[in-house]
Amino acid sequence: MAIESTNTFPITGTTALVTGANRGIGRAIVDALLARGAAKVYATARNVDSLKELVATSGGRVVPLQLDVTNPEQIKAAATAAGDVRLLINNAGIVRKFGGDFADPQWIAASRDEFETNVVGVLAVTQAFTPALTRRPGSAIVNLASVVSLVNFPMVTTYSVSKAATHSLTQATRAQLAPQQVYVAGVYPGPIDTDMARDLPLEKTSPEATANAILDGIEARREEIFPDPYSQQLGALYQRDPKAVEAQYAAPPVAA
């Protein structure tokens, strides 16, 4: 099989899989993929009934799959069913706790749940799909990290920790799969207008605008994608002066 140009990743005609596709950024990514001519999109969710509307309006191009990224059997079944994937988008993620004193014991339980989904789940799904992706040189893996991967926001202390690990995992995946011609990107959004970010007292970008910016970054094969104005500002400052980012953004936590 010929290796495609490393300068771009064409969305048109590709087969993608998006985890957590039933709402928020995941749903918007599926819609954007379809609008840009993806041939097939596997849309996954814990509850496949939540994907019915998406499937019904897709013209047969969306294939629903049940997938809890913390469930090994469901991961294995998804990888078997979607063996033709060329673009894997690890979008599924959770945040369990907003605000509270650092000594609050609830941070411990939150961290376990967040790490299991946001890090172990991404690793497990990526491992399961690696054979299919490496059979197709020029394939891609895209991990939804966050601006809190770069600097901890104490309001979401443990979520920030888990997303920092997602960032590190993205770097490891890129290094491990580079010899097999797999392109690996990290996405670092700021506040997006989704259910997850409902409690954040910040100006938010729409999921639709975010999804299109993510696909722009994928098509350009950028390894770090900052898909909204907030993340672009933070990312630019981080490149110049990481300690300044810490001083500016790591504000004291907001009490629950």
Instruction: Point out the residues that are catalytic.
Output: 159
CA separation (Å) from 111 to 97, 229, 246? 9, 28, 21
Residue written as token pair 């941070």: 107
Q: Are strands 62-66 and 87-90 parallel, antiparallel or unpaired?
A: unpaired
CB-CB contact of 248 with 254 (8 Å) = no
Distance of CA 227 to the CA centre of its chain: 12
Nearest CA among 41, 46, 253 for reference residue 159 = 253
Burial classification of residue 49, based on how many CB atoms lie within 10 Å of its CB (0-12 exposed, 13-18 middle, 19 or more buried): exposed
Query: What DSSP string runs through 131-185?
Result: HHHHTSTT-EEEEE--GGGTS--GGGHHHHHHHHHHHHHHHHHHHHHGGGT-EEE
